[in-house]
Structure 1
């Protein structure tokens, strides 16, 4: 193990840890910055071929993708994401019309931008009833369903809230949902980089599986992000893995912490050994930190666990969805 200290780096407010996995063996590169201090540590990492083989033998977890559309331009922003996720998973795409006015099936297909040769396999759902309830019922009736929708689907409630349909669906705590902000636009969305946000607690472990699966299917890079907050007590939840308090002596704490964190992520569902994998640690407000790293790393998708707390505006989850600049995949963690 080697360590060296560099000169202060101006212009950055957070401390960061980056870990790169190359092939079945590699190096741990840690760039930890706090109070204008930096340290660099290299350490060997164990082989993880076994985890890769386990990942390859698992069945697909998404068989149906549900896309709610209300006939407005905002809701259409989720179309490229839904189509690509359905393609990656080999899943059936279900379009659920949730607009206020009746619409013919052929009109909805036009919104999808599909050619006549591409409409095969797309299922149109024109059930009557409450729009949000129709989407929820579809998700419950269809095996291994994933909801993909724009945050502004349904009538806009106010400036701080999402669309009425989106808000109603989120209040039911769906198991898995991908939310797409109307801006920026994603006309030809492809999955190249996935940001997996994790706070080190067992409750957020379920998010690692979908992230690893998508990275495997798309050949995408994974960036595992841990946001360490000072105000939360360490070890608050049994099995939690809190980041080290200090970086003054990184050769003592950080390599062991990074190895343990990555081992937990790989155990939940490892990506192929040829995949690029980074571990990033930041300190600050969780919502803003996740969004900032997503923008800086040009992430195409954020995957994160959430506890279903959706009844207050300033939640970290809302901040990530609004400001990360890419779709956000929420995995419900009880």
Structure 2
């Protein structure tokens, strides 16, 4: 009976478009909570204060919902149809992470999870809850326990069938269902993901220091970046795929079948000059229903300006200069850094002499001073 129910759930998940569906215990002990506590205690979560405030609830599925017994872990393939890393060679174009080039996966997956969860609740008579990485639930350890894949040396979930390109969703159920075998680690001696990282964000295999990670800096970090990471971002303006894209296991991956996850026109290699001209309204229009929208126009333009500073394209000087008058200090400060990289030294010094004394924000004045000292 339980085996038949599991197959029925798998069939329903496939009909909803999921590429993987497996079962794990949500109640058995695990070490993931202890590893997360060490991560936070070391300060490696950076400005993501929510990780600290939700640490206890995040430590185990039953810490958040005491009735949880089974985790149904779903995977949705978002694999690209080509290796994205060669795109980084075009320094006058912005690089947006593969996962963010289509519709926001949160909304896409959540609706389907709710449909499947309703079916499970009706069949088992037990309560269910659904999660898509915005709640305090550790999906990756659950996915490994369910056998979808393992957490690789880059700490992301890695699958023998889908490579690095899986979105995860979880349904917790109060019902006790048979579970699948956990996956073991298959990275072997490979260190490709560690070696490629532009900012050396991995202190050791299977460990991440988010404070050095370009995905964290472009998306989660709110203010001016530490100067040491700005050149390393290259043309990456939202997220970073390097450690995912170099993994040899991607040779088994297939391109996503989901139409709403396909890259939109204009989000593969968008021109930095065009992005620098976005106001709030045009930003919202361009990134409607996109995960990029959540960081807001000002933080996005900060990223764009760092990429402009790395472009070696003097043709972008006018675009950066216009943003010296932007209302947002974080944008003005990034424009200062970009111009310090693109303009000849005497020209930049003359601009600084004209602008620095009239800048109202102390952090932006620090940008002028620091840029002149370089």
Q: TM-score range by the shorter chain?
A: under 0.3
Give TM-score scaled by structure 1 length.
0.23
The answer to which structure has the higher strand fraction is 1
Give TM-score scaled by structure 2 length.
0.22
